[in-house]
Amino acid sequence: MKNRLQGKNVIITGASGGIGAEMARLAARQGANLVLLARSVDKLQSLKTELEQSYKVSIIVRSLDVANTDAITDVFTEVMAEMGHVDILVNNAGFGVFRHAHEANLDEIKAMFEVNVIGLMACTSLVLLSMRRRGSGHIINIASQAGKIATPKSSVYSATKHAVLGYTNSLRMELREVGIFVTAVNPGPIATNFFEIADEQGTYVKNIKSFMLKPEYVAKQVVERMMTNTREINLPRWMNAGSVIYALFPRMFERIGRRAFNQK
Protein backbone atom coordinates (compact mmCIF):
# COMPACT_ATOMS: atom_id res chain seq x y z
CA MET A 1 0.00 0.00 0.00
CA LYS A 2 2.83 2.43 0.80
CA ASN A 3 4.43 1.85 -2.59
CA ARG A 4 1.08 2.36 -4.29
CA LEU A 5 0.62 5.93 -2.99
CA GLN A 6 4.25 7.00 -2.72
CA GLY A 7 4.72 10.11 -4.88
CA LYS A 8 1.14 10.05 -6.18
CA ASN A 9 -0.66 13.37 -6.61
CA VAL A 10 -4.02 13.45 -4.83
CA ILE A 11 -6.70 16.16 -4.96
CA ILE A 12 -9.30 16.13 -2.18
CA THR A 13 -12.28 18.49 -2.14
CA GLY A 14 -13.99 19.26 1.14
CA ALA A 15 -10.65 18.62 2.85
CA SER A 16 -10.94 21.01 5.80
CA GLY A 17 -12.55 18.51 8.19
CA GLY A 18 -14.36 15.21 8.60
CA ILE A 19 -13.36 12.36 6.31
CA GLY A 20 -11.65 14.80 3.91
CA ALA A 21 -9.07 15.80 6.50
CA GLU A 22 -8.67 12.21 7.69
CA MET A 23 -8.06 10.99 4.15
CA ALA A 24 -5.43 13.70 3.75
CA ARG A 25 -3.64 12.53 6.92
CA LEU A 26 -3.61 8.89 5.85
CA ALA A 27 -2.55 9.62 2.26
CA ALA A 28 0.28 11.91 3.42
CA ARG A 29 1.47 9.20 5.82
CA GLN A 30 1.86 6.93 2.80
CA GLY A 31 3.86 9.48 0.82
CA ALA A 32 1.19 11.07 -1.38
CA ASN A 33 1.45 14.70 -2.49
CA LEU A 34 -1.78 16.57 -1.78
CA VAL A 35 -3.95 19.35 -3.12
CA LEU A 36 -6.43 20.23 -0.38
CA LEU A 37 -9.50 22.22 -1.40
CA ALA A 38 -12.29 23.67 0.73
CA ARG A 39 -13.96 26.99 1.49
CA SER A 40 -12.12 27.44 4.80
CA VAL A 41 -8.53 28.21 3.86
CA ASP A 42 -7.55 28.75 7.51
CA LYS A 43 -8.43 25.15 8.37
CA LEU A 44 -6.58 23.95 5.28
CA GLN A 45 -3.47 25.92 6.23
CA SER A 46 -3.58 24.41 9.72
CA LEU A 47 -3.84 20.91 8.24
CA LYS A 48 -1.01 21.65 5.80
CA THR A 49 1.25 22.75 8.67
CA GLU A 50 0.39 19.63 10.66
CA LEU A 51 1.17 17.30 7.76
CA GLU A 52 4.34 19.04 6.60
CA GLN A 53 5.76 18.77 10.11
CA SER A 54 5.28 15.00 10.01
CA TYR A 55 5.80 13.93 6.40
CA LYS A 56 8.07 14.86 3.50
CA VAL A 57 5.34 15.51 0.96
CA SER A 58 4.21 18.44 -1.17
CA ILE A 59 0.95 20.03 -0.06
CA ILE A 60 -0.99 22.72 -1.94
CA VAL A 61 -4.02 24.37 -0.38
CA ARG A 62 -6.59 26.52 -2.16
CA SER A 63 -9.87 28.04 -1.09
CA LEU A 64 -12.66 26.65 -3.28
CA ASP A 65 -16.43 26.64 -3.17
CA VAL A 66 -17.41 23.81 -5.53
CA ALA A 67 -20.75 25.51 -6.13
CA ASN A 68 -18.78 28.04 -8.23
CA THR A 69 -17.90 26.34 -11.51
CA ASP A 70 -15.81 29.28 -12.74
CA ALA A 71 -13.72 29.06 -9.57
CA ILE A 72 -13.33 25.30 -10.08
CA THR A 73 -11.91 25.88 -13.56
CA ASP A 74 -9.49 28.53 -12.30
CA VAL A 75 -8.28 26.54 -9.29
CA PHE A 76 -7.92 23.21 -11.09
CA THR A 77 -6.10 24.82 -14.01
CA GLU A 78 -3.70 26.46 -11.56
CA VAL A 79 -2.97 23.41 -9.43
CA MET A 80 -2.69 21.09 -12.42
CA ALA A 81 -0.06 23.40 -13.91
CA GLU A 82 1.79 23.44 -10.59
CA MET A 83 1.74 19.71 -9.87
CA GLY A 84 1.95 18.46 -13.46
CA HIS A 85 -0.74 15.81 -13.29
CA VAL A 86 -3.24 14.26 -10.90
CA ASP A 87 -3.32 10.57 -10.07
CA ILE A 88 -6.32 10.53 -7.73
CA LEU A 89 -9.30 12.87 -7.43
CA VAL A 90 -11.51 12.47 -4.36
CA ASN A 91 -14.80 14.35 -4.79
CA ASN A 92 -15.68 14.67 -1.13
CA ALA A 93 -17.31 18.11 -0.86
CA GLY A 94 -21.03 17.96 -0.19
CA PHE A 95 -23.83 18.90 2.16
CA GLY A 96 -27.43 18.06 2.90
CA VAL A 97 -30.48 19.50 4.61
CA PHE A 98 -33.17 17.26 6.04
CA ARG A 99 -36.62 18.71 5.33
CA HIS A 100 -39.95 17.49 4.06
CA ALA A 101 -40.23 18.13 0.32
CA HIS A 102 -42.86 20.87 0.75
CA GLU A 103 -40.56 22.72 3.17
CA ALA A 104 -37.47 22.83 0.94
CA ASN A 105 -37.03 26.16 -0.79
CA LEU A 106 -35.65 26.51 -4.31
CA ASP A 107 -32.42 28.19 -3.23
CA GLU A 108 -31.68 25.27 -0.91
CA ILE A 109 -32.49 22.75 -3.63
CA LYS A 110 -30.27 24.50 -6.17
CA ALA A 111 -27.42 24.78 -3.67
CA MET A 112 -27.45 21.04 -2.93
CA PHE A 113 -27.37 20.15 -6.61
CA GLU A 114 -24.69 22.75 -7.37
CA VAL A 115 -22.36 21.36 -4.70
CA ASN A 116 -23.19 17.64 -4.62
CA VAL A 117 -23.70 17.06 -8.33
CA ILE A 118 -22.62 19.88 -10.66
CA GLY A 119 -19.51 20.70 -8.65
CA LEU A 120 -18.50 17.05 -8.54
CA MET A 121 -18.95 16.72 -12.31
CA ALA A 122 -17.03 19.94 -12.97
CA CYS A 123 -14.06 18.82 -10.87
CA THR A 124 -14.04 15.44 -12.59
CA SER A 125 -14.21 16.90 -16.08
CA LEU A 126 -11.09 18.96 -15.43
CA VAL A 127 -8.90 15.93 -14.67
CA LEU A 128 -10.33 13.45 -17.17
CA LEU A 129 -8.39 14.49 -20.28
CA SER A 130 -5.09 14.40 -18.42
CA MET A 131 -5.87 10.99 -16.95
CA ARG A 132 -6.96 9.64 -20.32
CA ARG A 133 -3.74 10.84 -21.97
CA ARG A 134 -1.68 9.13 -19.29
CA GLY A 135 -3.85 6.00 -19.28
CA SER A 136 -3.91 6.05 -15.51
CA GLY A 137 -5.83 7.56 -12.63
CA HIS A 138 -8.51 7.06 -10.02
CA ILE A 139 -11.70 9.06 -9.48
CA ILE A 140 -13.35 8.50 -6.10
CA ASN A 141 -16.80 9.98 -5.59
CA ILE A 142 -18.16 10.18 -2.07
CA ALA A 143 -21.83 9.35 -2.52
CA SER A 144 -24.04 7.92 0.23
CA GLN A 145 -26.31 5.07 1.19
CA ALA A 146 -28.97 7.76 0.61
CA GLY A 147 -28.20 7.28 -3.08
CA LYS A 148 -29.50 3.73 -2.77
CA ILE A 149 -32.24 4.03 -0.18
CA ALA A 150 -34.41 7.14 -0.19
CA THR A 151 -36.00 8.11 3.13
CA PRO A 152 -38.46 10.78 4.32
CA LYS A 153 -37.07 14.32 4.78
CA SER A 154 -34.16 13.45 2.45
CA SER A 155 -35.87 13.89 -0.90
CA VAL A 156 -33.49 16.51 -2.28
CA TYR A 157 -30.31 15.18 -0.67
CA SER A 158 -31.15 11.63 -1.75
CA ALA A 159 -31.87 12.86 -5.29
CA THR A 160 -28.38 14.42 -5.47
CA LYS A 161 -26.74 11.21 -4.30
CA HIS A 162 -28.78 9.10 -6.75
CA ALA A 163 -27.43 11.44 -9.43
CA VAL A 164 -23.86 10.98 -8.20
CA LEU A 165 -24.21 7.19 -8.37
CA GLY A 166 -25.67 7.36 -11.87
CA TYR A 167 -22.83 9.58 -13.06
CA THR A 168 -20.22 7.41 -11.35
CA ASN A 169 -21.53 4.17 -12.81
CA SER A 170 -21.62 5.61 -16.33
CA LEU A 171 -18.14 7.09 -15.92
CA ARG A 172 -16.77 3.74 -14.78
CA MET A 173 -18.00 2.05 -17.96
CA GLU A 174 -16.58 4.83 -20.14
CA LEU A 175 -13.13 4.58 -18.57
CA ARG A 176 -12.86 0.84 -18.06
CA GLU A 177 -10.73 0.28 -21.17
CA VAL A 178 -8.36 3.23 -20.66
CA GLY A 179 -6.85 2.29 -17.30
CA ILE A 180 -8.74 4.71 -15.05
CA PHE A 181 -10.45 3.40 -11.92
CA VAL A 182 -13.77 4.85 -10.74
CA THR A 183 -15.08 4.18 -7.23
CA ALA A 184 -18.29 5.17 -5.47
CA VAL A 185 -18.14 5.44 -1.69
CA ASN A 186 -21.52 4.90 -0.03
CA PRO A 187 -21.32 5.47 3.71
CA GLY A 188 -24.18 5.61 6.15
CA PRO A 189 -24.29 8.44 8.72
CA ILE A 190 -20.83 9.68 9.76
CA ALA A 191 -20.07 11.52 13.01
CA THR A 192 -18.99 14.85 11.45
CA ASN A 193 -20.26 18.44 11.38
CA PHE A 194 -22.38 17.48 8.34
CA PHE A 195 -25.33 17.15 10.69
CA GLU A 196 -24.94 20.66 12.09
CA ILE A 197 -26.58 21.79 8.83
CA ALA A 198 -28.50 18.66 7.83
CA ASP A 199 -30.17 17.97 11.18
CA GLU A 200 -30.95 21.36 12.67
CA GLN A 201 -33.10 19.94 15.46
CA GLY A 202 -30.65 17.20 16.39
CA THR A 203 -33.42 14.58 16.31
CA TYR A 204 -31.83 12.31 13.72
CA VAL A 205 -28.40 12.30 15.36
CA LYS A 206 -29.95 11.53 18.74
CA ASN A 207 -31.86 8.56 17.30
CA ILE A 208 -29.00 6.99 15.34
CA LYS A 209 -25.97 8.08 17.36
CA SER A 210 -24.98 4.50 18.26
CA PHE A 211 -24.89 3.55 14.56
CA MET A 212 -22.83 6.48 13.28
CA LEU A 213 -19.53 5.74 11.55
CA LYS A 214 -16.27 7.30 12.72
CA PRO A 215 -14.66 9.54 10.07
CA GLU A 216 -11.28 7.91 10.70
CA TYR A 217 -12.73 4.49 9.84
CA VAL A 218 -14.38 5.67 6.63
CA ALA A 219 -11.23 7.51 5.54
CA LYS A 220 -9.12 4.40 6.16
CA GLN A 221 -11.41 2.27 3.98
CA VAL A 222 -11.10 4.79 1.13
CA VAL A 223 -7.33 5.35 1.31
CA GLU A 224 -6.64 1.61 1.48
CA ARG A 225 -8.38 1.25 -1.89
CA MET A 226 -6.76 4.17 -3.69
CA MET A 227 -5.29 3.13 -7.06
CA THR A 228 -7.09 -0.21 -6.93
CA ASN A 229 -9.92 -1.40 -9.17
CA THR A 230 -12.66 -1.06 -6.56
CA ARG A 231 -16.21 -0.55 -7.83
CA GLU A 232 -17.87 0.51 -4.57
CA ILE A 233 -17.11 0.93 -0.88
CA ASN A 234 -20.30 0.40 1.11
CA LEU A 235 -20.33 1.18 4.82
CA PRO A 236 -21.56 -0.29 7.05
CA ARG A 237 -22.09 -3.64 5.37
CA TRP A 238 -25.41 -4.34 7.10
CA MET A 239 -26.84 -1.09 5.74
CA ASN A 240 -25.74 -1.97 2.22
CA ALA A 241 -27.48 -5.33 2.62
CA GLY A 242 -30.62 -3.30 3.22
CA SER A 243 -30.14 -1.50 -0.12
CA VAL A 244 -29.95 -4.87 -1.88
CA ILE A 245 -33.18 -6.01 -0.25
CA TYR A 246 -34.75 -2.64 -1.11
CA ALA A 247 -33.87 -3.09 -4.79
CA LEU A 248 -35.45 -6.55 -4.82
CA PHE A 249 -38.50 -5.95 -2.59
CA PRO A 250 -39.12 -2.18 -2.44
CA ARG A 251 -42.74 -2.24 -1.31
CA MET A 252 -42.09 -4.70 1.52
CA PHE A 253 -38.95 -2.83 2.58
CA GLU A 254 -40.74 0.52 2.73
CA ARG A 255 -43.60 -0.97 4.75
CA ILE A 256 -41.42 -2.77 7.27
CA GLY A 257 -38.87 0.04 7.54
CA ARG A 258 -41.38 2.89 7.88
CA ARG A 259 -40.69 3.45 11.58
CA ALA A 260 -36.90 3.48 11.13
CA PHE A 261 -37.11 5.80 8.09
CA ASN A 262 -39.05 8.42 10.06
CA GLN A 263 -36.44 8.89 12.77
CA LYS A 264 -35.47 12.26 11.29
**Considering only CA atoms, which of 74, 15, 14, 70 is closest in space to residue 47?**
15
- Rounded to 10 deg, the angle between the 106-113 and 155-175 helix axes is 20
Specify whether the CB–CB gap between 35 and 57 falls below 8 A. Answer: no
Q: How far apart are the C-alpha atoms of 156 and 154, rounded to whole Å?
A: 6
Looking only at Cα atoms, what is the longest distance across the chain? 54
Active-site residue 157, yes or no? Answer: yes
Catalytic residue among 157, 204, 217, 246: 157
Question: Which positions are annotated as active-site residues?
Answer: 157
